[in-house]
């Protein structure tokens, strides 16, 4: 039985809740950064000025932030499915 418990992705319900909070926060930060970078790119392009980086660089950073936000979001889905399944 001990070896079967070691193969489980989460230890207990409290561990799942902590993972859900942490992953939700990380996903939100990634998405907010994506929106911020997109806004900087649009503003920079609309005003035809360079805000530290060129507008295309801001858009590339926005894509990168959005893609990186997918990882904690997927982990969040797994944690929620696990907590729902175990309840």
Q: Could you tell me which residue, 80 or 72, shows the higher pLDDT? A: 72
What is the domain extent for residue 79? 17-86
- pLDDT band at residue 11 using 50, 70 and 90 as cut-offs: low
Please give the backbone phi and psi of residue 51, each rounded to the nearest 5 degrees, phi first: -100, 85
**pLDDT for position 7:** 55
In a domain, 5, yes or no: no
* Number of domains observed in the structure of the chain: 1
**pLDDT for position 86:** 55
In a domain, 9, yes or no: no
Please give the backbone phi and psi of residue 52, each rounded to the nearest 5 degrees, phi first: 65, -50
Q: Is the pTM higher than 0.75?
A: no
Q: Note the pLDDT tens digit of each residue in 17-62.
A: 787 888 888 888 999 999 999 999 999 999 888 888 888 999 999 9
In a domain, 73, yes or no: yes
């Amino acid at each position: 039985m001990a070896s079967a418990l070691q193969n489980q992705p989460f230890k207990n319900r409290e561990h799942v809740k902590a993972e859900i909070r942490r992953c939700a926060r990380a996903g939100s930060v990634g998405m907010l950064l994506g929106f911020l970078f997109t806004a900087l790119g649009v503003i920079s392009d609309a005003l035809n000025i360079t805000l530290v980086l060129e507008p295309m660089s801001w858009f590339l950073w926005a894509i990168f932030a959005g893609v990186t936000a997918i990882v904690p979001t997927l982990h969040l889905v797994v944690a929620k499915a696990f907590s729902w399944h175990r309840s």
